Structure 1
Amino acid sequence: MNTTPILIDGFGRRVDYIRLSITDRCDFRCTYCMSEDMTFLPRNEVLSLEESARLVRIFVGLGVSKVRITGGEPLVRKNAIWLFDEIGQMPGLRELVVTTNGSQLEQQAQALRNAGVKRINISLDSLNPERFRSITRTGDLNKVLRGIAAAKAAGFENIKLNTVLMRGVNDDEALSLLEFAIAQEIDISYIEEMPLGQVDHSRESTFVSNQTILKLLQQQHELISSAESSGGPARYWRIPNTKTRVGFISPHSHNFCESCNRVRITCKGELYLCLGQEDKIELMPLLREFPNDDAPLIAAIINSMTIKPKGHDFDLQRAAPAVIRFMSMTGG
């Protein structure tokens, strides 16, 4: 009889997927993700790579089979590839994936592939260089495009673009971004903007529902609903005679909480049970108080399942954001 503990929350949902942020720093300053003038954490308040590896090992021992490494921008973290190498060889792990802005892929794609990363999600919100620079405040579109090419050359077969469309900003590029994905033979997901952190625009004024985008795309392409899942919240559609899947992540127009299977760990070691709620457990103090004893960490993680909420509480009409912390602080 298998007595290995697994993570089940109070609503009977099994948690088998963690998203781990390894840095709050990023070389972009995307308008929907962080402020232009961010204050970043001092090094001693950020998990070491060894602490990150220890946490992942504990979660995998508790039945987690999918790990996504995020940031900020995870690939600007010094020696990040060491962590990917460590995680990639952990017994019991089914899938190691990364979310990146693509800026470092030209140099690091092959090393990620060698470490055992199975899938790469790349944020791309515009194919217009000037608009891309405006949305990211600092980004170079050509550098990201070279990064996508490097990921393909490294042999990655599962590459997905993540696109946040905003009314009056880049919603007119929905179709051209899909055409780019089809030409590149990669996937794309459209993500409704989430009300996290205080930004310099009204989320309600820029909100575009994925239902609107779906109808727009269907005017040019046949989209066939698919039951496929990548283990996350996206709902997928297939386009006949292409290799491209089209995903929609719709926290507002189609709440996906009923099947939530994931938790998030910030680079400070905060275990968030929901992206859209403030319920959390502090893991860093336990990591540092018990460097040679995993039992207190295991107990805290198992007990945290009792406070995992049923779902988020996003409301675009609120004057203040649902959650004050920026998306970059929780790792998406």
Structure 2
Amino acid sequence: MRITGGEPSLRKDFTDIIHTVASTKGIRKVATTTNGYRMEKQVADWKEAGLTHINVSVDSLDPRMFHQITGENKFTQVMGGIDRAFEVGYEQVKVNVVLMKDLNAHELPAFLNWIKDRPIQLRFIELMQTGEMDELFQRHHVSGVAIRNQLIANGWLLKVRDHNDGPAQVFVHPDYQGEIGLIMPYEKDFCESCNRLRVSATGKLHLCLFGDHGVELRDLLQQDSQESALIERIQEQLQTKSVSHFLHDGNSGMTPHLASIGG
């Protein structure tokens, strides 16, 4: 299970939520996606509460570019948070990066050098076109295929997928401790192995990040006695899940921007 946002660590009860989820029968993995601003001070508490995996968003290794992209001058705190995660016992940290033309795309060699001796899985997420960012997409989009071709040309090898792996194509290199994960939503058959469902903060089930609607669950999340009805509704709606998104057609569904539903 992944706890995401917005920024989940903004909640004062975030550590309690982690503990509740981790204590739930049947849940073996509890992950979060965070901007990393609070990790240095809080990650030890998160781990003790039961958080097993962390994804941190770091779109630049240049503090000035980091500030330009994020709007926050927090680069030093985020780097300190990643170091602190390793100190408290995490064996790997995943770092999410969106490479964008004319902004940070030239930093690919620097990112690779950064993980040469660090157990970090860099996840290069291809910029996606949503309803409110057509112009930005056209100006800054970098093809995931182009990044993959660079990796292969430099000796990176595709790792065999496990049955429960997420959407990333993972590459390894004998000279690097870190790994590279490529998330390429425009790749043919990207959705074929999709195993993701999302429940929003408003209690709606989203079968696809780019779906046309959400399924109301809030009325069945109020009481434990409604568990069987909740399972039945989810199973029923799963039968309607589309085989693919329609990003290739310029259709991002009801998602105006990714922050509106979470990553």
Whether these two folds match at TM > 0.5 is: yes
Q: 1:254 to 1:162 in 2, by over 3 A?
A: farther
In the alignment, is the contact (CA less than 8 A) between 1:222 and 1:239 conserved in 2?
Answer: yes
Q: How does 1:207-222 map to 2 (within 5 A)?
A: 207-218=141-152, 221-222=154-155
Identify the match of residue 175 of structure 1 among 100, 109, 114: 109
Distance between the aligned counterparts of 2:112 and 2:80, measured in 1? 18
1:328 aligns with 2:259: yes
How far has the Cα of 1:208 moved from its partner?
0.8
SS in 2 for 1:294: helix
Q: Which residue of 2 aligns with 1:80?
A: 14
SS of 2:133 mapped into structure 1: coil
Mapped contact 1:195–1:323 kept (Cα < 8 A): no
Equivalent of 2:246 in 303, 313, 324: 313
**Partner Cα separation in structure 1 for residue 243 and residue 195 of structure 2:** 11
The 5 A counterparts of 1:98-113 are: 98-113=32-47
Q: Check whether the contact 1:279–1:308 (CA below 8 A) recurs between aligned residues.
A: no
Distance 1:79 1:222 in 2: 45
Matched positions, count: 262
Q: Which one-letter code corresponds to 1:252 in the other structure? A: Y
State the shift of 1:102 in Å: 0.8
User: How many angstroms does 1:197 deviate by?
Assistant: 4.5
Q: 1:240 is matched with which residue?
A: 174
Aligned-pair Cα RMSD in Å: 2.0
| Structure 2 partner of 1:275 | 209
Correspondences of 1:35-184 after superposition (within 5 Å): 67-184=1-118
Looking at structure 1, the residues matched to 67 and 139 of structure 2 have their Cα atoms a distance apart, in angstroms, of: 21
Question: In the aligned structure 2, how far is the partner of 1:303 from the partner of 1:209?
Answer: 36
What secondary structure does 1:187 align onto? Answer: strand
2:115·2:177 contact (CA, 8 Å) conserved in 1?
no
TM-superposition CA deviations, 1:90-126 (whole Å, max 9, x none): 2222211111111111111111111222211111110
CA distance in 2, matches of 1:162, 1:106: 18
Whichever residue aligns with residue 260 of structure 2, its letter is: M
Which structure is higher in RCO with an 8 Å CA cutoff and minimum separation 6?
1
Whichever residue aligns with residue 104 of structure 2, its letter is N
**TM-score between the two structures when normalised by the length of structure 2:** 0.92
Q: CA deviation at 1:322?
A: 4.9
2:227 to 284, 288, 294: 294
In the TM superposition, what is the alpha-carbon distance from 1:313 to its structure 2 partner? 0.6
Q: Secondary structure at the match of 1:301?
A: helix
Deviations 1:50-88, CA, capped at 9 Å, x for gaps: xxxxxxxxxxxxxxxxx0110111111121110101111
Deviations 1:35-64 (A, max 9, x none): xxxxxxxxxxxxxxxxxxxxxxxxxxxxxx
The answer for unaligned runs of 5 or more in structure 2 is none
Q: Which amino acid aligns with 1:325?
A: P
Measured against aligned partners, the alpha-carbon deviations of 1:132-168 in whole angstroms (never above 9, x if no partner) come to 1111112411111111111111110121111111111
